[in-house]
Chain A
Amino acid sequence: MSDGAGKAHLPELLRSGREAVLDRWLEVVLEGVRGRITERELKAELTELYALIERAVAGGDEEAGRELRAALAEISRSRARQGFSPSETAVSVFAVKQALLEQVSATADMQAYAEFIEFSSWVDDLGLVTFETYASAREQVIADQMEQLLELSTPVVKLWDGILGVPLVGTLDSARTQVVMETLLERLVETGAQFAVIDITGVPAVDTEVAQHLLKTVMAARLMGTDCVISGVRPQIAQTIVALGIEFGDIATKASLADALAYALECSGIQVTGRTEA
């Protein structure tokens, strides 16, 4: 955006009409965000952007262009995290065109119109930067959440001295099985547990793949000297397993976690008795 000194009408217009353009810009953007961000905050953001745009449009200021892009990237990242939609984010940039165009038409200056076209395509570029940053920020958010979900949904708990519990919730795929297996085995080493109860009450469906993954986990635990019990086999799941012809071999399976715990206690030679009245 560097024009000859004599015919740069737009920079002049940006300077003289600063208040009007900024106010109109703020108005358009505010309409879009509907109170999820305060007017004061927005005004501070836009004023900063406006100053950078002014410097960049005036020409010869490479630094301002870079700063502008950085500032836009920062804003779109925070918008993405706050859950704004892509168009709401992009509008914050594109609205400046509308605000400025209104100023240009008010002056009816043909030269300014011509410069405005160039300005417009430049703002489109800025809009693309915004959008790209927005998209990558959102992807980052999704990736973070997936990781958290993976960790959240695979706890290994201690049920008793020497007995671990692995309550599985959600669908079992290879990635999750890997995490479950690793967490369980690490905990086995830490605690020296002799029994592990894998509870599948929260697993919505068991097909051959899930069964294969369960078997692998049990085998790996066995290699480390720990016996596994699978609990939480619901009636429908039992039917599916039989219908699919899946064999659990000599792995003990129980209907409920309580049964599995009782079995594990019995195998470890622990007896739990109620207190008798004196």
Chain B
Amino acid sequence: MDRVPILKIGDVLLVSIQIDLQDQTVLALQEDLADRIVKTGARGVIIDITAVDIVDSFIGRMFATIASMSRLMDAETVVVGMRPAVAITLVELGLSLGGVRTALDLEKGMRVLGAPLPAVRPGTS
């Protein structure tokens, strides 16, 4: 079974979903993430779904579950990089992801969590 890698940047855990999510993968991810939050004492979780084209209600609920779970362990969750089509699907499914914060891309997500960003050389931003 594929596992989604969890990367650590400073105080933040980054989960970048690059594969088709099966229900099993999602459950494994939730477990792994809970373990990592406890182990690293992370303050924030960023779920990057730039590469996700298709969502269903199960995945929609996953975001909410991860968010509540992380909040219990004092880490804030931000979902970043949602595509327009995905956003429309979730709204049509009636999932507004109440407790989840969102941002347009990874950079803005880091800013939402107040995580320090690598210095940008002038003229390249």
Interface residues of A (CB under 8 A from B): 178, 181-182, 185-186, 188-189, 192, 194, 216, 219-226
Contact partner of A223 among B97, B105, B109, CB < 8 A? B97
Shortest CB distance B24–A (Å): 25
User: What are the residues of chain A within 8 A of B79 when measuring CB–CB?
Assistant: 223
Contact partner of B87 among A178, A185, A192, A194, CB < 8 A? A185
How long is the Cα–Cα vector from A249 to B65 in the complex, in angstroms?
22
How long is the Cα–Cα vector from A189 to B82 in the complex, in angstroms?
9
Q: Contact mask B71-112 → A, CB, 8 Å, 1/0? A: 000000001101110111011100011000111110011001
Count contacts on B: residues with CB < 8 A to the other chain: 21
Known: A222-B96, A223-B82. A182 touches B104 (CB 8 A): no
A216 & B84 in contact (Cβ 8 Å cutoff):
no
User: What are the residues of chain A within 8 A of B105 when measuring CB–CB?
Assistant: 192
A224 & B82 in contact (Cβ 8 Å cutoff):
yes
Known: A222-B96, A223-B97, A225-B108. A189 touches B84 (CB 8 A): yes
Interface residues of B (CB under 8 A from A): 79-80, 82-84, 86-88, 90-92, 96-97, 101-105, 108-109, 112
User: What are the residues of chain A within 8 A of B88 when measuring CB–CB?
Assistant: 178, 181-182, 185, 220
B104 & A226 in contact (Cβ 8 Å cutoff):
yes
How long is the Cα–Cα vector from A220 to B90 in the complex, in angstroms?
8
How long is the Cα–Cα vector from A188 to B97 in the complex, in angstroms?
19
Contact partner of A192 among B83, B91, B104, B109, CB < 8 A? B104
Shortest CB distance B56–A (Å): 15
Shortest CB distance A196–B (Å): 12
How long is the Cα–Cα vector from A222 to B103 in the complex, in angstroms?
8
User: What are the residues of chain B within 8 A of A221 when measuring CB–CB?
Assistant: 87
B104 & A219 in contact (Cβ 8 Å cutoff):
no
A220 & B91 in contact (Cβ 8 Å cutoff):
yes
For A223, the closest partner residue in chain B by CB is B87
User: What are the residues of chain A within 8 A of B91 when measuring CB–CB?
Assistant: 216, 219-220, 223
B103 & A225 in contact (Cβ 8 Å cutoff):
yes
Shortest CB distance A220–B (Å): 4
A224 & B96 in contact (Cβ 8 Å cutoff):
no
A192 & B102 in contact (Cβ 8 Å cutoff):
no
User: What are the residues of chain B within 8 A of A226 when measuring CB–CB?
Assistant: 104
Shortest CB distance A189–B (Å): 7
8 extra interchain contacts, Cβ-Cβ under 8 A, other than A189-B104, A223-B90, A225-B82?
Answer: A182-B84, A185-B88, A189-B84, A192-B108, A194-B108, A220-B88, A223-B79, A223-B86
User: What are the residues of chain B within 8 A of A225 when measuring CB–CB?
Assistant: 80, 82, 101-104, 108-109, 112
User: What are the residues of chain A within 8 A of B103 when measuring CB–CB?
Assistant: 225
User: What are the residues of chain A within 8 A of B104 when measuring CB–CB?
Assistant: 188-189, 192, 194, 224-226
How long is the Cα–Cα vector from A178 to B89 in the complex, in angstroms?
11
Shortest CB distance A192–B (Å): 5
User: What are the residues of chain A within 8 A of B90 when measuring CB–CB?
Assistant: 220, 223
How long is the Cα–Cα vector from A220 to B102 in the complex, in angstroms?
11
For A183, the closest partner residue in chain B by CB is B84
How long is the Cα–Cα vector from A224 to B88 in the complex, in angstroms?
10
Shortest CB distance A267–B (Å): 14
A185 & B102 in contact (Cβ 8 Å cutoff):
no
Shortest CB distance B125–A (Å): 12
B108 & A223 in contact (Cβ 8 Å cutoff):
no
User: What are the residues of chain B within 8 A of A182 when measuring CB–CB?
Assistant: 84, 88
B108 & A219 in contact (Cβ 8 Å cutoff):
no
B108 & A224 in contact (Cβ 8 Å cutoff):
no
For A222, the closest partner residue in chain B by CB is B102
For B84, the closest partner residue in chain A by CB is A185
